[in-house]
Every structure is written in C-alpha cells, then in structure tokens.
Chains A and B, each alone.
Chain A
C-alpha cells in the first residue's frame, strides 16, 4: 500500500512537470519572439509607426486596429517584406502613403515582428512562428 502511494505521487509529479515543460516551451518561444520582435520593430518600423504604435497624423497609419490586424493576419508578412501602396483604411481612416518593403528581413524576423505588433499597442493575438511566416510569404502577390 505504501509503495503504491509513493509510486502514485511520483507518477503525478512526473506527469505534471512534463505538461508544464511543454507549456513553458511555447511561452518561452513566445517571449523570445516578442523580445526579438521589439528590437526589430525599433530598428525597422518605429520611425514611422512610433514607439506607441500610433503612427503620425494621416501620414503613417497606427498599428492599434486589432480587427484590421486580425483580418489581414495572413497578409502581414507580405506587407512587411514587400511594402504596400494604395489606400488602406485603418480605424476607419484612409491612408494613401507608400510603405517601403523590408527585403533584408528573414522569415523568422518577420514572424517576430508580427508577434510583437499583434501583442502590443492594445493588441492580443495568437503566437505566429516562422513556419506560418514561410507559408504566408509563398503566397505574396
């Protein structure tokens, strides 16, 4: 009986720690992406979009429109890499400037920037790893 109890406790501990380590790996990955994404954002995006993601007047659109980001989730990677022209509506305001592309950013860099943007400035969206970015980037027009 006593042996059984010890065995049971051991098993429970082993099992929960296994689950927890799995969870931790995702959250560690998320944090890694987020932190790296912040650095990349500061270098490549912040000049125009601002440290608070609010953009500038109607020259540069804000990144605070969660529904826009959600709607364009699978297009964000292409927009970051190739830039964008034409009119976009963000928070129901029209912006018609030219966004330059970032050809030097690798797939994983772009994924990290996306994780940072979609989880800052009041946004809260799911994890987006480099595999997602790779798949989305193949479909760029």
Chain B
C-alpha cells in the first residue's frame, strides 16, 4: 500500500515538472490555414497574424523601424505624455519590467504616443528623461495619425481613438502586448494591474527560453 502511494506521488511530481517546462505561450490574433504541396503530399499549415513593417521617429528624432526589433522580443503599448488617467500607472509598471530586463540585448520596449499633435519627439525626450530612461532599449515613438491608430487596432489589437467627449480628447486601452521574434503576438496584459504585469515578466522569461535556448 505504502509503495503504491509513493509511486503515485512520484508520478504526480514528475508530471507537474513536465507540464511546467513544456508550457508555451499561445499565439494570439487572426490565423488562417493554407494548403501547400510538399513532395506530392497536401499539407495544411497555419499562418498567424504578424506585425507589419513600420517606421516612426523616436525620442531622439531617429527613425525606428521594425528592423530594429528583428531577432528580439518586445513589449509594446500606447500612451500619451499629458495623460493623467491610466498612463502613469502603466508606465510605473512598465518601468519595473524595463528595470528587470535592462541591458538584455534580446529585449526591447516600444511605446507609441497617440497624441500626434502635441507629443513630438522633443516632448517625448523630456518625458523619457524625467522617467529616468537612457539609451534606446525603450523606444518612445511618434508617427502619423493613421499609422499609429491603424497599427494599434489592426496589428496589436489595442483600442485607441480620438474622442471629443473625453476630457483629454483621447481614449485608449492599457494593454501591454508581448511580441516574439517572428512578430507574432504572444500575450496581452493589463498594464494597470500589478498581478498581470508580474505575469508578463514571467511570460517574457518563458518566451526568451523558447526563442533563444536552442540557439546556443
């Protein structure tokens, strides 16, 4: 009897170990099956939604494109510097994530301003230095209205729009979106909630393992 219990416990422990090491982040967004013929056999492959090419100006007025994020994982969000509702909470939390991964060449951060008129690169620069950020691991970018609102809605699945009924004229969600090296969406976390931001940090570790552990 004792032996049976022991074996049962051992297998439980073993299984729980297997499960954690095999946990993989889901791939979010649209997907479509494509049929292709390989060696005369019909195979069905799934194509996942990816982030398309983009080009913006960062806090140093230097162009930042999707190429700057090649072979890296990154976390992205939408904000504006004069926002006094959710943005301070988001960036207080993002700062914790940034501090944790600071100096890691495989990790970048990308914050898009949705205040196209006011948040020019010089304004972003002053915001960034007040936040205590140096270098370009965390890029704060300014782009055209269509490109920013377009990429928010279509590529990162974050709702952001101009609304004259809002006291500040701009409405947006506080999601932190995790993107992998294939530009696929791997997670969405409410940037105003501490527990979800903690989950983001855990998931980033997991994604880094998945992406780069086989390389070495």
A residues touching B (Cβ–Cβ < 8 Å)?
47-48, 50, 56-60, 97-98, 100
Instruction: Name the B residues within 8 Å of A48 (CB-CB).
Output: 84, 88
Instruction: Name the B residues within 8 Å of A58 (CB-CB).
Output: 130, 132
C-alpha gap A97/B95 in the complex (Å): 19
Q: State whether the Cβ of B16 lies closer than 8 Å to any Cβ in chain A.
A: no
With known contacts A47-B89, A50-B92, A57–B84 Cβ distance under 8 A: no
CB distance from A90 to the nearest CB of B (A): 13
B residues touching A (Cβ–Cβ < 8 Å)?
82, 84-86, 88-89, 91-92, 95, 127, 130-132
C-alpha gap A97/B88 in the complex (Å): 13
CB-CB nearest in chain B for A48: B88
With known contacts A47-B84, A48-B84, A100-B84, A59–B89 Cβ distance under 8 A: no
CB-CB nearest in chain B for A100: B84
Would B88 and A57 count as touching, CB distance under 8 A? Answer: no
Would B86 and A57 count as touching, CB distance under 8 A? Answer: no
Report the tally of A-B residue pairs with Cβ distances under 8 A.
27
CB distance from B132 to the nearest CB of A (A): 5
C-alpha gap A57/B81 in the complex (Å): 13
Interface of A is mostly: loop
Would A60 and B88 count as touching, CB distance under 8 A? Answer: yes
CB distance from A34 to the nearest CB of B (A): 23
Give the contacting residue for B130; candidates A50, A59, A98, A100; CB below 8 A. Answer: A59
Contacts A/B (CB < 8 Å), 24 sampled: A47-B84, A47-B85, A47-B86, A47-B88, A47-B89, A48-B84, A48-B88, A50-B92, A56-B88, A56-B91, A56-B92, A56-B95, A56-B131, A57-B95, A57-B130, A57-B131, A57-B132, A58-B130, A58-B132, A59-B88, A59-B127, A59-B131, A98-B82, A100-B84
CB-CB nearest in chain B for A59: B130
Instruction: Name the A residues within 8 Å of B91 (CB-CB).
Output: 56
Instruction: Name the A residues within 8 Å of B85 (CB-CB).
Output: 47
Instruction: Name the B residues within 8 Å of A59 (CB-CB).
Output: 88, 127, 130-131
CB-CB nearest in chain B for A99: B84
Q: Contacts A56-B91, A57-B130, A57-B131 given; 14 further ones with Cβ under 8 A?
A: A47-B84, A47-B86, A47-B89, A50-B92, A56-B88, A56-B92, A56-B95, A57-B95, A58-B132, A59-B127, A59-B130, A59-B131, A97-B130, A98-B82
C-alpha gap A47/B85 in the complex (Å): 6
Instruction: Name the A residues within 8 Å of B88 (CB-CB).
Output: 47-48, 56, 59-60
C-alpha gap A101/B89 in the complex (Å): 19
Instruction: Name the A residues within 8 Å of B95 (CB-CB).
Output: 56-57
CB-CB nearest in chain A for B167: A100
Instruction: Name the B residues within 8 Å of A50 (CB-CB).
Output: 92
Instruction: Name the B residues within 8 Å of A100 (CB-CB).
Output: 84
